[in-house]
Amino acid sequence: MRLVYAGIFPRLCAYIVDGFVFYVITFLLGMLPIVNHFSMLAFSRLSIDLVWLHIWGYLFTLWYYVFFLRRYGATPGKMLFNMTVVMANGQPVTTRAVLLRYGIICLVSTSIVLSLYFFRAHAFLYYVFIALMMILGLWGLGSIYLLISRQDRRVVHDFIAGTVVIKRNGTMDDPELPKTWTTSSSSF
């Protein structure tokens, strides 16, 4: 089975749309400050309540991706740009793969928040914070490099989870992937 991989521009657009959808949902739920982990830097004195709100925000983020990828094979942004996430062999994405795909990012982000809060009491956690920020930065740079340089457009979290982003109905042998969508033409 030959997969038809999603391009760079549609993936970038889908990421922007997903960010917008996610922030609208969290705003409507009254959780906008929760999901913005950089907002922690704006507070001169962090409270444990704010730390817990961030942790709940990351758990909500994880739920968001698990729900949409398991139910529809794609997030709203990916649906809009006719993309789906599947396993590297073309099979539907598994819950384990989704948890690996996004769970590691949420774990690193949560660790950054926790180290930022607790380094006031334990100075060595400042270095943990710096190291985690570097990991997140390298993750992002590595993903950009892979997205540009690889024909299959797989990035770091795709390799960890064993997934790939393809065009909707993006296999030559299986035009019904996933079955929850109807076929439609797209310029992407």
pLDDT class for 181, splitting at 50, 70, 90?
Answer: very low
Question: Is 60 exceeded by the pLDDT of residue 29?
Answer: yes
pLDDT at 170: 54
pLDDT class for 55, splitting at 50, 70, 90?
Answer: confident
**Residue that wins the pLDDT comparison between 138 and 114:** 138
Per-residue pLDDT, averaged over 150-177, amounts to 78
Mean pLDDT of the chain: 77
HEC readout, the chain: CCEEECCHHHHHHHHHHHHHHHHHHHHHCCCHHHHCHHHHHHCCCCCHHHHHHHHHHHHHHHHHHHHHHHHHCCCHHHHHCCEEEEECCCCECCHHHHHHHHHHHHHHHHHHHHHHHHCCCCCHHHHHHHHHHHHHHHHHHHHHHHHHHCCCCCCHHHHHHCEEEEEEEEECCCCCCCCCCCCCCCCC
HSE of 186 in the Cβ direction (CA atoms, 13 Å)? 17
**Segment among 54-58, 132-136, 143-147, 181-185 with least mean pLDDT:** 181-185
pLDDT class for 50, splitting at 50, 70, 90?
Answer: low
User: How far is Cα 95 from Cα 75, in angstroms, rounded to an integer?
Assistant: 14
pLDDT class for 48, splitting at 50, 70, 90?
Answer: low
Question: Is 90 exceeded by the pLDDT of residue 24?
Answer: no
User: How far is Cα 114 from Cα 50, in angstroms, rounded to an integer?
Assistant: 10
Measured CA to CA in angstroms, residue 94 lies from 3, 68, 85, 109, 186 at distances of 18, 12, 10, 23, 26
Per-residue pLDDT, averaged over 68-97, amounts to 93
pLDDT at 71: 93
Per-residue pLDDT, averaged over 113-131, amounts to 73
Per-residue pLDDT, averaged over 111-139, amounts to 76
User: How far is Cα 78 from Cα 102, in angstroms, rounded to an integer?
Assistant: 15
Measured CA to CA in angstroms, residue 167 lies from 80, 112, 120, 162, 187 at distances of 11, 34, 47, 17, 11
Question: Is 90 exceeded by the pLDDT of residue 140?
Answer: no
Quick count: other Cβ atoms within 10 Å of Cβ 32? 15
CA dihedral 43, 44, 47, 49 (to 10 degrees): 0
Say whether pTM exceeds 0.85: no
**Residue that wins the pLDDT comparison between 104 and 69:** 69
Question: Is 60 exceeded by the pLDDT of residue 33?
Answer: no
